[in-house]
Structure formats: C-alpha cells, structure tokens
Structure 1
Amino acid sequence: MSRSERLLHLLQVLRRYRRPVRGQALAEELGVSIRTLYRDIASLQAQGATIEGEPGVGYVMKPGFMLPPMMFRSEELDALVLGMRWVADRCDKTLSSGALSTLAKIAAVLPTELRRELEESSLLVGAPLKRAAHNVSPDLLRAAVREEHKLNITYVDASGIQTQRVVWPFALVYFDQARVLMCWCELRADFRNFRSDRISNVEQLEERYPKRRQTLLREWRRLDHVASHTILPEFDSIDH
C-alpha cells in the first residue's frame, strides 16, 4: 500500500468513530507501527484535516473535512483523466472548458509523483464520430434541467414532421453522435425523449414544472415498460 493510499485509509477509519480512539488501536487496524501512525496523523493535520487528540488520549476527526484531490488512488486518477478528456473532446465549449479547468486545478494540488502520473496518463480518447449540427444552445438545455423550468420546443422527427411541445426536462444524455433530452411531455402526458439536434427552436418558460427532476427520473426508471424507453442515440419520441 502506497503512503497516499494509507493516508486515505486512515481518514476513512477515523470517519467511523464519533469518540476518540487510541492510537494503538488505529495502528493495529492499519497494520502500521505507532510511530508511523503518529507521522501520518501529523501529515493529515498539516493538510487541513481537523483531527484532534494526542498520544495516550486518542484521536477523533471533526465532521465536514473534505478529502483533498491529492488523496486520489492511481485508478481514481485514471478514471478522472479519462472522463475529463472525454468531456473536453466530445462536449460543447462550456463543458469542455470546465473539464480542462478541473484537471488543471487538481494537478495544481497533487504531490509531484501523482501530478506526473496524471499528466502522463496513457488513457486516451479516440477521435469523435461526426456529430449533427445543433440549432439550440446546450447551455440553455442544461440550465432548464438544473433549474427545473419548462421548455417550449419545436421538434422535427426523423420523418420531417414538426410539432410544438411544452416539456419538463429532467436529464440530458450524451452520446458520441447526439444528445438526448429526457422530458415529461405535456402534449402526450407521458415521458418522451428528444434528440437535441432535431429541436429547431426552444424557449425557456418562466414557469417551473411541478415535480423535482429527481422525482421524474425515479418515476421514469420505475415504469414497467421502461424497456420501450431505452435511450439510444437514434431514438425519436414515439407519438401515439
């Protein structure tokens, strides 16, 4: 176990205790010497962990301490780098910029060996497939989902039929070739999914929809006929 992983484990152990626990008990649980334990606690305290106590009395960590990025394990860093690279390469300018900014902030606080591991990661993202052009701003769609506002959309299906809908957007699904807006559709009184590249016009209404987006997502998942709502990049809303 690397030192970073050991410090992470120590934090996780301390979080389980609400009252001070003796250093010897912690050392035995971690499989280290008492001297190593004291050094590890001092290191965590220097990094901002609110660990109180002293030898012979015991140690307890106050709630609310956030795990710093430098405590990421190697596989966690791999997942982070790959995910951020995918977003930077596949998504719109706002999310792409956010992904690159996130990586830079994390790299800035990593210890040297982990920063080098992040920067030299061999997990790469392949060239994206050709994506359809979009008429509406993805920022607007994400804002409507986040703020739980109704949208008035003009939608053109694969057959070229145009309809006007008032929808309650509760999720946005990303694929290589398309984005899919998951909604409750007032016109059909049912769940419908819309490819964002087939939305020709959109207006965010002032009115918020009456349910929380997480409630709508749970209801969508609970449907007995959920298989018929499988989200595929070529999916069009089915009108019947």
Structure 2
Amino acid sequence: MSASGPKRAERLLNLLQILYQHRYPVSGHWLAQELSVSLRTLYRDICALRVQGADIQGEAGTGFILSRSHHLPPVMFTPEQLDALALGLRWVAAYGDAGIAKAASEVTGKIRQGLPPQLKTLFDDSTLLVGKTQVAHHNPENLNSLRSAIRRRQKIRTGYTDRSGNVSERTIWPFALGYFSGDIVLAAWCEKRNAFRHFDVTRLTSLQLVQEGYPHSRYRLLRMWRNAGLDNTIPGRS
C-alpha cells in the first residue's frame, strides 16, 4: 500500500475529518486502509497533525481519537463536499417547513462567510438543482412544538384525523420527523395503538405538549423503530 493518491495536504484533512466523525478510538490499521496509505505513512501523518496543533490522543495498538474540543476549519471543503452542502441546503429550503427553511438559509450564509473566494464561487455556482413541486401547508407552530418535543423527549396529546375522516385522541411519543417531497411525517410511539405509528402532520389537531417525558431516549426509539423494519416501508398513517 503506497502513500500515493491524494496530495498530502488533502490526505491530512481527510484524516482529521475521519477522526472527527468517531467518538471512540479508531485503529491505525483501519485508518490506513481508509486513506489507502501504509501504516508507517499514517503514523507520520498523525505526528504531522499533532505538530500543527491537532489534539489527537492515543497511540499504536490502542487506537486514535480526536479531542472533541478540536474544531475543523470551516473553509476546508472539497468541490464534491461543497456540491453536497449546496444540494442539501437547497432541498431543505424547497421542501422543509418555514422554520427549517429559514435555518437552512442561515447556515448557507455562515458557510459562505467562511469560504475563500474560489470556494465561495464553487458553492454559489453549484449546478446540482432541486425541482420544486407543490408543498402541503404546514402549521409552523405545530412543527416548532413537534421539534421541541422530540429534542426534550416529551409526550404529546393530540387529535388526529385519518384518511377516512375518523377522528381520535392520541398520546404519542414523538422521536423523528420525515421530510418527503411535499409531505412531513411524524414517527412516534402511540399509546392508544401500543405500537409505532406514522402521522401526517397536517392531520394533527389541538396539539398539546405533556410535561411528562417518555421513558426511552429518542435514539433508542429510533433504533427500535428501525429494528422493526419500519424504515424501509412507505409510511402508513393511522
């Protein structure tokens, strides 16, 4: 395995980015394979980054981890990464609700502010475009409340009207919002059905936050939902 391939500066940045994505020590062998370099080259790169001020902890045999206090410079993006950012932010602006679209615009401004002129041009002129279709009207207050409940792990009491027009009262544990092209779907545990359910947020009424938190973290609920195979289905709403 040779040290050829990406230029050294780009390789060092890639190494930093890989380490930044991991919360636990990563073995030198795995890092070397990811970067397509020899283990010896990897160790030299880690030494070089430490000299430049990167707080990389660990050693050969135990693995390496980047201190969470270390911040990557926001200007260091590849052209492909800039395209990904531009496409993602444009999609959010087109299909997100008003609050999320506003946040996407703010993030776009922050990214542009930190880019050098040549990268700013690449970011602004990205030709990855998002087609616009008719988007359903969503109550911004409801969506703000739903996002708050998810972050704070709060139960919600709400009325819900299904596709057949049947109205029911539900107490649910919201843990995820799915943004589709024009629709926003809430994934939650429903106490009434004693099961995971998906709710079209435009059909939620009289939404009330409950001070009582639900017993699991949202991340655990998300894992349980995925393990149930629901992430690979078209959301059924009931």
Name the TM-score, length of structure 2 as normaliser. 0.74
Task: Describe the shift of the 1:204–1:229 C-alpha distance in structure 2 as closer, same or farther (beyond 3 A).
Answer: farther
Question: d(CA) in 2 for partners of 1:105 and 1:173?
Answer: 25
Correspondence for 1:65 among 41, 66, 70: 70
Following superposition, the deviation at residue 7 of structure 1 comes to: 4.6
**What SS class does the counterpart of residue 210 from structure 1 fall into?**
coil
For residues 11-31 of structure 1, what are the alpha-carbon distances to aligned partners after superposition, in whole Å with 9 as ceiling and x for unaligned? 46999799xxxxxxx9x838x
2:32 match: none
Task: Describe the shift of the 1:104–1:93 C-alpha distance in structure 2 as closer, same or farther (beyond 3 A).
Answer: same
2:79 match: 74
RMSD between aligned residues: 3.3
Are positions 1:95 and 2:107 aligned together?
no
**What SS class does the counterpart of residue 87 from structure 1 fall into?**
helix
Following superposition, the deviation at residue 102 of structure 1 comes to: 0.9
Q: Contact 2:178–2:184 at 8 Å: present in 1 too? A: yes
Q: Contact 1:152–1:202 at 8 Å: present in 2 too? A: yes
For residues 21-56 of structure 1, what are the alpha-carbon distances to aligned partners after superposition, in whole Å with 9 as ceiling and x for unaligned? xxxxx9x838xxx9xx9xx97xx95xxx4479xxxx
1:22 match: none
**What SS class does the counterpart of residue 204 from structure 1 fall into?**
strand
1:236 match: 237
2:131 match: 126
Following superposition, the deviation at residue 130 of structure 1 comes to: 1.9
2:176 match: 171
Task: Describe the shift of the 1:111–1:147 C-alpha distance in structure 2 as closer, same or farther (beyond 3 A).
Answer: same
Question: d(CA) in 2 for partners of 1:219 and 1:164?
Answer: 24
Larger radius of gyration: 1
Task: Describe the shift of the 1:12–1:211 C-alpha distance in structure 2 as closer, same or farther (beyond 3 A).
Answer: closer
1:206 match: 211
For residues 199-237 of structure 1, what are the alpha-carbon distances to aligned partners after superposition, in whole Å with 9 as ceiling and x for unaligned? 1221111111111111111111122xx3598243xx322
Identity %: 40
**What SS class does the counterpart of residue 153 from structure 1 fall into?**
strand
Deviates more, 1:76-85 or 1:129-138: 129-138
2:61 match: none
Task: Describe the shift of the 1:148–1:50 C-alpha distance in structure 2 as closer, same or farther (beyond 3 A).
Answer: same
Name the TM-score, length of structure 1 as normaliser. 0.73
**What SS class does the counterpart of residue 236 from structure 1 fall into?**
coil
**What SS class does the counterpart of residue 173 from structure 2 fall into?**
strand
Q: Contact 1:5–1:71 at 8 Å: present in 2 too? A: no
Q: Contact 1:149–1:209 at 8 Å: present in 2 too? A: yes
Task: Describe the shift of the 1:10–1:153 C-alpha distance in structure 2 as closer, same or farther (beyond 3 A).
Answer: closer
1:138 match: 143
Following superposition, the deviation at residue 107 of structure 1 comes to: 1.4
Question: d(CA) in 2 for partners of 1:185 and 1:114?
Answer: 47
**Any gaps of 5 or more consecutive residues in structure 2?**
1-5, 21-25, 29-37, 57-64
Which letter does structure 2 place at the counterpart of 1:178? D
